[in-house]
Amino acid sequence: MGDIGSEHHIRVETDSSEFGVDGELLLESITGHEAISELFSFDLKILCEDLNIDPTGIVGKRITYSITSPETEKTRYFNGYVKKFKAGNVIATTSGSLLDGQLRRYEVQVVPWFWFLSQNKKSRIFQEMTVVEIIEAVLGDHAGISDNDYALNCILSYETRNYCAQYQESDFDFISRLMEDEGIFYFFRHEEAGKHVMMLADHAGAYRFDPSSDGGDESSNVIPFVQGSGPGEQITQWSHQYNMRSGGVLLHDYDQGLASASASPIGSSTPTSVSEKYPLVADYELYEYPGKYRTSAERTALSRVRAEENECTYDKVTGQGDNRSLHPCGKFTLEGHDATGESENDYQDGYVITSISHYAVDTSYFTTSDSALGLQAATAINKIATAAMARDASNESLTDILRSLADAIAQPADEEETEAATARYDNTFEAMPATVVFRPRRRVPKPIVNGPQTAVVTGAGEIDPDEQGRVKVKFHWEDADRSGETWVRVSQNWAGKKWGAQYIPHVGQEVIVSFLQGDPDLPVITGRVYNNHQANPLALPADKTKSIMRDYGDNEFVMEGKADLQHISLWQSCENELWMEGKPGEEVISLKQKCENEISLDAVKPQIAIEQKCGNEIVLVDDGSPEIHMSQECGNLFSMEKDGGRITLSNPSDQNKIVMDQSAKSITIEAVQNQAKIVIGGDKGIDQSFKGDWHECTFTKKVSTNYGGQEDAFLGIKNSNMVGIDTSQHASFSESKNLVDRIRTVKGSLKYEATDLISHKVGDDCTVELDGAGLDIAVGSTTLKAIADGDVTIETKKKVTIKAKSSTRIESGEVVLKAKTIDLTSAKIKHKSFEVK
């Protein structure tokens, strides 16, 4: 048949052999729509003499097609993937057609490679990445489709996202949602080489006069405006509309990393350009919460993006024409149209195409030269289809289009129409001032997590939190190749500033994760659950009445609520235990150590007991007669009875004991085996006994001992001092003691005073007693006695020797010497009247 299609203004550039087709692919019509931040879609009607094309050979394959301008001979290329292939009716060509015989019409739908990303659904998490890095990571997963056919032209800076979840959404929806959030837009550049490149940008500098070029840009693209029709490529219809919008944007959000005691200030709104033109709307702002920012810088940037998103729909142009150079993100200037209100400042850079719908047709393959009527009818019908594809992008109403169709059928074609009847191209478009930065509308909703989910805690060792108490988890819906590196906050039942509760989930635990406001980017652990791997710490249903809190170190807190067994216990892994009995009649609290030391508090007796494993014990009893008992394992006992009225300290079996009796006002010290006993107080003063013999010393008055001068006292082996109840001493002396002697030295004077008697005793036979009646000195059977106002008698069984170194003088009224013999042989007797020698 030859290369027939190459002579036509629309044609398929891809060789049919690449699809396994026997015959040339002839392009009959193109109907398509493309826009900034949208997937393009083109419907092609292709004719072929091969009546049985295998759909599997063409679906999913790349195809390139083109539209050439007859006036400029410039060719516009389009490229994409075949999404849908449909075999239509077989058409018989008429006499005079370019082709003779039969042709089958095939319908082909073409989409960009980015469309394939809408055909999956994933759930995964990205951490510590910017939105651009996330986009690149996702697109990198589709290298086999995209062949790296995308280019980044973003000049703004983007904050790192600590956590960003793709939850039950396609890669296309996920990337589109992120770009819409951040204000990144995209369009496709179609190249002659048979591919299309996805261009991502965030600034007005990305607009180009010739977006199809990957090199330098054209200096301008001036398109004339011609009302109706005229020679060359032109814009034939132009409608400018303005839409009132809000005067400002205000974003607010909360981030736990920036939390403070008081709520963070909301701040002021970011004004839009609309508020400058229309002060009336200056106070009408769009308030968004959550604003999806973490820092003040990010808030400022996102507020500006939201304001620019609002501005994009304020000033809009709709038009129609046949200029084939118009592309999404393509700039142009309009010539020959002076619209009221289009100021030089707003349009000094011209316009930029935001969306465009194409229609091209070529009926020369099977029609005659009398087919102008058919072409007009086809054009009118195509306008209806194009308006639907562009979502009513055309400014013509359905009634106007149908009226044009009726006129075309009613009026015969003139000669000029007949000549051009076989080929036609039309478009409808939307544009905005090129000074405005395009921001995509947020059309892709963020997924909502409907209710809590469970996840498994991951990390190193038994427990692996960060400084904020967060733990890493892996959700059940995450990819299997992920190691679970998602840091998630943990809810505590009490949280304050350096106080509160802390229960950190451990590695391997299954936790319940809730999502604040259903946002998959805001997870928080709110609970824990058991499973077949992480079993309950108690045996169920046997222990169903128990409530327990046990840590991984086997420390536990148990509450038993079963009737007659009520108790609370606190147990350490080292076997220390606190037990609180609560059943009726047994109200006991006990604290035990592993070594069997125990403290017990009994509210029924009532009693407090402290016991050591070795047998030492302290018991405090309050049963109406309060008592305290302390005992040693060896039998030593210390007890206090009746509010301290009786205190007893004893050795085992009461062999030795001290009793302090408040009612008897006495202190008793007793050594039972030696029959030794001392009683202090009572009604006698001090009583002492040894082996049955009692010695009593009673003081009824005050005894005062004054020391002066210097005294040396030497006492025998045994020294016993008995002191009265009230004793006052004033002394300045030094004293030394040993087992056999006692020496007392007084530097001043030594004075003893007593009201009744002063008695000294040395050994068993020597006594000295002095009282008011006189003085008695006894040494054995020898006595010396001096009686006040009486006689002094010296008596002895043997002899009395009065020995003086110098002399002995006896003075008395009368001296009687009465003896058997008076020996004066060696004496010299003197008298006042004589002397005897």
If DSSP states are collapsed to H, E and C, what string results for 19-33? HCCCCCCEEEEEEEE
According to the model, what pLDDT value does residue 624 have? 67
Contact 483, 459 (CB under 8 A): no
Whether pLDDT at 184 is above 60 = yes
According to the model, what pLDDT value does residue 356 have? 97
Token pair 């589709």 is found at 142
Mean pLDDT of 116-136: 94
d(CA 725, CA 221): 129
- Cα 435 to Cα 205, 240, 331: the distances in Å are 9, 16, 11
Q: Are strands 62-68 and 102-111 parallel, antiparallel or unpaired?
A: unpaired
Contact 351, 238 (CB under 8 A): no
Confidence of residue 712 (pLDDT cuts 50, 70, 90): very low
According to the model, what pLDDT value does residue 818 have? 76
Instruction: Count CB-CB contacts under 10 A for residue 20.
Output: 13
d(CA 750, CA 727): 17
Mean pLDDT of 521-545: 91
Highest mean pLDDT among 115-119, 585-589, 670-674: 115-119
Query: Which residues lie closer than 8 Å to 53 by C-beta, 6 or more apart?
Result: 19, 21, 85, 87, 104, 106
According to the model, what pLDDT value does residue 538 have? 86
> What value does the mean pLDDT of the chain take?
79
8-state DSSP, 233:
S
Token pair 């997937």 is found at 39
Of 249-263, 284-298, 334-348, the range with the lowest mean pLDDT is: 249-263
Q: What is the DSSP string of 442-504?
A: --SPPP---S-EEEEEE-SSS----TTS-EEEEETTS-TT----EEEEE--S-B-SS-B---P
Q: From the CA atom positions of the chain, what is the Rg in Å?
A: 60
Mean pLDDT of 584-606: 79
- Cα 46 to Cα 65, 99, 385: the distances in Å are 11, 14, 18
Q: Answer yes or no: pTM beyond 0.75.
A: no
* 3-state DSSP of 596-662: CCEEEEECCCCEEEEECCCCCEEEEECCCCCEEEEECCCCCEEEEECCCCEEEEECHHHCEEEEEEC
Whether pLDDT at 777 is above 90 = no
According to the model, what pLDDT value does residue 474 have? 92
Confidence of residue 100 (pLDDT cuts 50, 70, 90): low
Instruction: Count CB-CB contacts under 10 A for residue 829.
Output: 9
User: Which residues partner with 641 through β-bridges?
Assistant: 627, 646
Whether pLDDT at 369 is above 70 = no
Angle at 578 between CA 574 and CA 580, to 5 degrees: 155
Dig out the tokens for 600 from the structure: 């017990």
Contact 309, 439 (CB under 8 A): yes
> Which residue would you say has higher pLDDT here, 33 or 337?
33
The letter for the amino acid at 647 is I
Of 140-144, 243-247, 608-612, the range with the lowest mean pLDDT is: 243-247
> Which residue would you say has higher pLDDT here, 411 or 555?
555
pLDDT tens for 409-465 read: 545 455 455 445 568 899 999 999 999 999 999 999 999 999 999 999 999 999 999
For residue 541, whether the previous peptide bond is cis, meaning omega lies within 30 degrees of 0, is yes
> Which residue would you say has higher pLDDT here, 67 or 784?
67
Instruction: Count CB-CB contacts under 10 A for residue 541.
Output: 7
According to the model, what pLDDT value does residue 535 have? 86
Query: Percentage of the chain surpassing pLDDT 70?
Result: 76
According to the model, what pLDDT value does residue 715 have? 40
Mean pLDDT of 662-686: 79
For residue 290, whether the previous peptide bond is cis, meaning omega lies within 30 degrees of 0, is yes
CA-wise closest residue to 616 among 631, 597, 596: 631
Confidence of residue 835 (pLDDT cuts 50, 70, 90): low
Whether pLDDT at 297 is above 70 = yes
Confidence of residue 363 (pLDDT cuts 50, 70, 90): confident
Three-class SS state of 368: coil
Whether pLDDT at 393 is above 60 = no
- Cα 436 to Cα 43, 241, 314, 591: the distances in Å are 31, 15, 10, 78
d(CA 690, CA 676): 5
Query: Which residues lie closer than 8 Å to 570 by C-beta, 6 or more apart?
Result: 556, 557, 558, 577, 578
Q: How many Cα atoms are found within 13 Å in the side-chain-facing hemisphere of 661?
A: 13
d(CA 332, CA 218): 10
The letter for the amino acid at 407 is D
According to the model, what pLDDT value does residue 53 have? 94
Sequence-ordered alpha helix ranges (H) in 26-112? none
Of 470-484, 532-546, 772-786, the range with the lowest mean pLDDT is: 772-786
Q: Are strands 150-153 and 195-201 parallel, antiparallel or unpaired?
A: parallel
d(CA 59, CA 78): 17
For residue 584, whether the previous peptide bond is cis, meaning omega lies within 30 degrees of 0, is no
φ/ψ of 64, rounded to 5, equals -120, 135
Angle at 259 between CA 511 and CA 262, to 5 degrees: 130
> Which residue would you say has higher pLDDT here, 63 or 679?
63
d(CA 281, CA 273): 11
Query: Percentage of the chain surpassing pLDDT 90?
Result: 33
Whether pLDDT at 534 is above 80 = yes
d(CA 203, CA 352): 13
Give me the CATH topology for the region 5-112. Pnp Oxidase; Chain A (2.30.110)
Confidence of residue 168 (pLDDT cuts 50, 70, 90): very high
Contact 310, 246 (CB under 8 A): yes
According to the model, what pLDDT value does residue 257 have? 63
The letter for the amino acid at 555 is N
* Secondary element (H or E) of residue 365: none
Question: Any idea where the domains of the chain sit in the sequence?
Answer: 5-112, 248-311
Whether pLDDT at 657 is above 90 = no
According to the model, what pLDDT value does residue 277 have? 72
According to the model, what pLDDT value does residue 18 have? 92
Query: Which residues lie closer than 8 Å to 23 by C-beta, 6 or more apart?
Result: 1, 16, 48, 49, 50
Sequence-ordered alpha helix ranges (H) in 359-397? 372-389
Mean pLDDT of 239-243: 86
Confidence of residue 94 (pLDDT cuts 50, 70, 90): low
Whether pLDDT at 731 is above 50 = no
Mean pLDDT of 606-612: 81
Dig out the tokens for 783 from the structure: 């006595």
Token pair 């303005």 is found at 242
Highest mean pLDDT among 39-43, 402-406, 820-824: 39-43
According to the model, what pLDDT value does residue 790 have? 67
Dig out the tokens for 74 from the structure: 């410039």
According to the model, what pLDDT value does residue 809 have? 73
According to the model, what pLDDT value does residue 613 have? 75
d(CA 356, CA 187): 12
Crossing angle (nearest 10°) for helices 372-389 and 398-410: 170
- By the 10 Å C-beta count (0-12 exposed, 13-18 middle, 19+ buried), 740 is classed as exposed
